[in-house]
Structure 1
Amino acid sequence: MNRKHSLQSDEDKQLVLNRLKRVEGQVRGIQKMVEEDRYCVDILVQMSAINAALKKVGFHLMEKHTHHCVANAIKEGNGDASIDELMKVIQQFSK
């Protein structure tokens, strides 16, 4: 499997980084909520928001990977291996 190709343009990379930095800020916010003994349900709601944000980033990356890396592998005759790898990632991601 050829792993040297980047699946993101500079714009996509910045979009993903910005989303991850936002998630990082949310995690810090939850840490502060725990330190301040905030209501458990409020913490759980914030954790749910983080999970949703990470899934959104993950789906974005999977879409880019499919359109770029998997499509190129199919064109080069290595589609089966690339599709198998993608399916394993999808299974892991959906747990």
Structure 2
Amino acid sequence: MSHLPEHRTGNLITRINRIEGQIGGIKKMILEEKPYDEIIIQLNSTRSAMQKISQIMLEAQADNSLMNVSEGSSLEDEMKKLQKVIKQYNKMN
């Protein structure tokens, strides 16, 4: 993984744990029949958090690819990896 702090596994897991908590909260809101607008606010918040993780993963791949090329990896191979991640990132957004 990348050398940047927000790209570290522990930080990503913390973000995912928060999202799991948000999902649990949304489930509870639905069960308690909270107003739809309040539920949608929480859904949007969760979606935004997921998009942020996706962005971090894209940045980490770019960073990792650059480091690998500077250490002698094939530019073509690293570009293919990065293009694959970009394609998946675009599907989410």
Runs of 4+ in 1 over 3 A off after TM superposition: none
Unmatched runs of 5 consecutive residues or more in structure 2: none
For 2:33, what is the secondary structure of its paired residue? coil
Once superposed, what is the RMSD of the aligned Cα atoms? 1.8
TM-score between both structures, scaled by the size of structure 2: 0.78
1:50 alignment partner AA: T
Decide which of 66, 81, 85 is 2:81's aligned counterpart: 85
When normalised by structure 1's length, the TM-score is 0.76
Unpaired runs of at least 5, structure 1: 1-6
Does the CA contact (< 8 Å) of 1:74 and 1:80 recur in 2? no
Residue aligning to 1:3: none
Match of 1:49 among 11, 34, 45: 45
Q: Say whether 1:74 aligns with 2:74.
A: no
| Cα shift readout 1:2-49 (whole Å, capped 9, x = no counterpart) | xxxxx156x622111111100010000001011111111211111111
Count of residue pairs the alignment pairs up: 87
Q: Which aligned pairs between 1:1-95 and structure 2 lie closer than 5 A? A: 7-8=1-2, 12-68=8-64, 70-75=65-70, 76-95=72-91
CA distance in 2, matches of 1:63, 1:32: 34
Q: Could you list the per-position Cα deviations for residues 35-81 of structure 1 after superposition, in whole angstroms to 9, with x for gaps in the alignment?
A: 1111112111111111111111121122122112x124424342223
